[in-house]
Amino acid sequence: MKQPVVSIIMPTYNVEAFLDESIGSVLAQTFQDWELLVVDDGSTDNSNAVARRYAQSDPRIMVLEKPNGGLSDARNYGLQHAVGKYVHFFDSDDAIVPEFYETLVGAIGDDDFIICGYYRDYVTPGGNTSTRILKPVAMRPPLPSDMDHMTQFGRFFNYAWNKLFKTEFLVNNKLEYEKGLSIIEDKEFMSRVIMRNPEFSFIDFAGYRYKIRQRETLGNNRYSPDLITNLIRGMALQDQILSAFVHDESTMRRLRGTIAINESKWACHCITTFSDMSRDEQIEDMGDIINHPTTQFFLKGYWPDGIENKIFVAFAKMRSPKLIHWLYSLKKKHS
């Protein structure tokens, strides 16, 4: 078989229910010069059997098996076997629109990678879907460093799946994912990508369908004891990435504040919604994130819009996890 233009790396771990849609969206592409590397990361369900059923009928689909090592390890394993000119990292519970590869291959030109927008598909347990479309403004570096453009930058830059990379760029720069990370593996990877001074651009196109399902349906979305540590590190990584483009202190301060409140609120939501900890343990974990020097530094001199966010930041600056826990208890009670 001749060298394909695109290598699609699709790690799978217990996603039997979603693989038909994911692989089906690859087969439906208007651009057909690809290979699909399904990396079975030690699944214990029928994911492997579903993938092999497709591989038996299409020689462009290959199933690679390895012991469970996590998403980053599976992506690296797929990259070691990729032979295409370009690489796309595709999460196996998502989907892509039919023109995805045709559009990105046609637009990448001399860039090392290209970034597109995406759909956020909110899927209920009953299968109903509501969708939000997020499309970037077409641009390339040097990027405007105002707040609006940098907010867009953060919304699209810190993911793996909405990009097409040149394989040569990744291999020559020894760019692999850090094994063992959760939640922030893409941010960590992109922080090292940006240090290589790559050529890249955003295109005015939404092609990836990022599926957001109620967390109870996904076994790997339980509360993790590494959550706080990873979110704090993720804040620092986002700061490192943005610092490469933003040199205005006022804009950087507002961006840091936005990062801090988003990550802190997400941590508090996970603590109160997905953990089985006692009230005192929840308060202790909330204190770990809001009292961390990184969080307090990011919030210094920052006041957000919106009453709820202002109350949250006020409680955080007071270093009062008890008040924040009370706030989330009220939210949970009235949800």
At 282-305, the pLDDT tens digits run: 999 999 999 999 999 999 999 998
pLDDT of residue 222: 57
Give the C-alpha separation, 92 to 20, whole Å.
Answer: 10
80 with 189, same domain: the answer is yes
Same domain, 15 and 76: yes
Which position has the higher pLDDT, 116 or 331? Answer: 116
Q: What is the DSSP letter of 217?
A: G
Last residue of a domain, one of 178, 194, 219: 219
**Which of 15-29, 142-156, 204-218, 263-277 is least confident?**
204-218
Identify whether 80 is part of a domain.
Answer: yes
Q: Which of 125-129, 198-202, 331-335 holds the top average pLDDT? A: 198-202
Residue 303 DSSP SS3: coil
Short-list 102, 110, 117, 116, CA closest to 169: 110
Q: Are residues 179 and 230 in the same domain?
A: no
Q: Identify whether residues 185 and 274 lie together within a single domain.
A: no
Per-residue confidence (pLDDT) for residue 35, from 0 to 100: 98
Tell whether 307 and 266 lie within a shared domain. Answer: yes
Of all residues in the chain, the percent with pLDDT exceeding 90 is: 81
Query: Would residue 142 count as lying in a domain?
Result: yes
Query: What DSSP character marks residue 196?
Result: T
Domain end among 186, 219, 252: 219
Q: What is the pLDDT of residue 179?
A: 94
Two tokens, residue 323: 């008040």
204 is a domain residue: yes
* C-alpha to C-alpha distance for 171 and 132, rounded to whole angstroms: 34
Task: Say how far apart CA 198 and CA 157 lie, in whole Å.
Answer: 13
- Classify residue 110: in a domain, yes or no: yes
Q: Is residue 240 part of a domain?
A: yes
219 pLDDT more than 50: no
59 within domain boundaries: yes
- Radius of gyration in angstroms for the set of CA atoms belonging to the chain, rounded to a whole number: 21
The enclosing H or E element of 218 equals none
Lowest mean pLDDT among 31-40, 66-75, 145-154, 183-192: 145-154
- Residue 59: asked if its preceding bond is cis (omega within 30°), the reply is no
Cross-strand partners of 202: 115, 139
Q: Are 164 and 86 in contact (CB under 8 A)?
A: yes
What mean pLDDT is predicted for residues 310-335? 91
pLDDT at res. 124:
82
Mean pLDDT of the chain: 93
Domain-ending residue, one of 160, 192, 219: 219
Angle (deg, nearest 10), helices 249-274 and 279-290:
170
220, pLDDT greater than 60: no
Distance CA 180, CA 127 (A): 32
Distance between CA atoms of residues 51 and 11, nearest Å: 11
Q: Is the pLDDT of residue 155 over 50?
A: yes
Please check whether residues 45 and 191 belong to one and the same domain: yes
Give me the number of domains the chain comprises: 2
Helix axes 249-274, 147-157, angle to 10 degrees: 40
The strand pair at 163-166 and 61-66 is best described as: unpaired
Which comes out higher in pLDDT, residue 19 or 224? 19
Whether 265 and 298 share a structural domain: yes
For 67-71, 137-141, 149-153, which range has the lowest pLDDT when averaged over its residues? 149-153
Are residues 206 and 228 both part of a single domain? no
E strand intervals along 162-311: 163-166, 200-213
1 in a structural domain: no
Residues 201 and 229 grouped into a single domain: no
CA distances for 314 relative to 121, 307, 318, 332, angstroms: 33, 10, 6, 20
What's the CATH code of the domain at 42? 3.90.550.10
For position 265, what pLDDT does the model report?
94
> Could you list the residue range(s) of the whole structural domain that residue 259 is in?
223-334
* Predicted pLDDT at 214: 63
Q: What is the pLDDT, as a whole number, of residue 215?
A: 47
Q: 186: which residues sit within 8 A by CB, 6+ positions away?
A: 158, 159, 160
Is 147 a domain residue?
Answer: yes
136 and 256 fall within a common domain: no
**For 120-123, which contacts have Cβ atoms below 8 Å and span 24 or more sequence positions?**
120/210, 120/212, 121/209, 121/210, 121/211, 121/212, 122/212, 123/211, 123/212, 123/213, 123/214
163 and 280 co-located in one domain? no
Whether 209 and 87 map to the same domain: the answer is: yes
What mean pLDDT comes out for the span 312-319?
Answer: 96
Provide the whole-model pTM. Answer: 0.91
**C-alpha distances in Å from residue 294, one per residue of 146, 175, 234, 310:** 23, 27, 11, 19
